[in-house]
Amino acid sequence: MTPPIAVASRNFGDVAAATAGADPARIAFIDLGEGDAAPRPWTYGALHGAAGAVARALRARGARRGDRVAILGANSAEYYAVFLGAMRAGLVAVPVNWKLAPATIAHVLRDSGASLVFADAERRHAGGDLPVLELEGVRAPRAGAEPEPFESVAAGRDELAMILYTSGSTGVPKGVPLAHHGQLWAIEHRLAGTPGVERHRLLVAAPFFHMNALCVTAVALCGGASVALLPRFTAAAYVEAIGRHRCTWLTAVPTMIAMAARESEALARTDLSSVERVAMGSAPLGQALVDRVKALFPGALVGNGYGTTETGPVAFGPHPRGVPRPDIALGYPAEGVDVRLVDGDDTDADEGVLQLRTPALMPGYLNLPAKTAQVMTADGYYVTGDVMRRDADGFYHFVGRADDMFVCGGENIYPGEVEAMLERHPEIRQACVVPVPDELKGAKPVAFVVPVAGTAPSPQSIREWALAHGPAYQHPRHVELVPELPLAGTGKIDRAALAARAVAALAEAAGVVA
Residue 510's pLDDT is what?
65
Which pLDDT score, from 0 to 100, does residue 109 have?
97
Say what the pTM is: 0.85
Helix (H, G, I), strand (E, B) or coil at 399: strand
The correct CATH number of 338-401 out of 3.20.20.70, 2.60.260.20, 2.30.38.10, 1.10.10.60 is 2.30.38.10
Torsion of CA 417, 482, 211, 37, to 10 degrees: 160
Name the E strands within 288-409: 301-304, 316-317, 332-333, 338-342, 351-357, 382-390, 396-401, 406-408
All residues at 6 or more sequence positions from 340 whose CB lies less than 8 Å from its CB, including other chains: 347, 348, 354, 355, 381
Q: Which CATH superfamily is domain 406-508 in?
A: ANL, C-terminal domain (3.30.300.30)
Check residue 147 and give its pLDDT: 66
- Label residue 196 left, alpha or beta by phi (over 0 means left) and psi (-120 to 50 means alpha): left
- Cα–Cα distance measured from residue 384 to residue 374, given in angstroms and rounded to the nearest whole number: 11
Q: Find the helix or strand (DSSP H, E) in which 69 lies.
A: strand 68-72
pLDDT for 145? 61
Q: Which long-range contacts (CB under 8 A, 24 or more apart) does 460-469 make?
A: 462/422, 462/425, 462/428, 465/422, 465/425, 466/418, 466/421, 466/422, 469/421, 469/424
User: What is the structure's pLDDT at 127?
Assistant: 87
Residues of the chain with pLDDT under 70: 1-8, 141-147, 168-171, 489-491, 509-514
| Strands 442-451 and 478-481, sheet pairing | parallel
Rounded to an integer, what distance in angstroms lies between the CA atom of residue 305 and that of residue 395? 13
Q: What are the residue boundaries of the structural domains of the chain, listed by start?
A: 12-232, 338-401, 406-508
Instruction: Specify whether the CB–CB gap between 484 and 262 falls below 8 A.
Output: yes
Distance (Å, whole) CA 368 – CA 347: 26
CATH class for the region spanning 12-232: alpha beta
The CA distance from 466 to 474, in Å, is 8
Per-residue pLDDT of 267-319, as tens digits, reads 999 999 999 999 987 777 778 788 889 999 998 999 888 889 999 889 999 99
Task: Residue 45: name the closest of 187, 138, 146, 136 by CA.
Answer: 146
What sign for the dihedral angle of Cα 237, 72, 169, 377? positive
Which amino acid appears at position 350 of this protein? D
User: What DSSP letter does each residue of 437-468 carry, written as one string?
Assistant: EETTTEEEEEEEEEEPTT----HHHHHHHHHH
CA dihedral 192, 198, 204, 210 (to 10 degrees): 40
pLDDT single digits (tens) 336-365: 999 999 999 899 999 999 999 999 999 999
Q: Tell which residue, 141, 332, 305, has the closest CA to residue 219.
A: 305
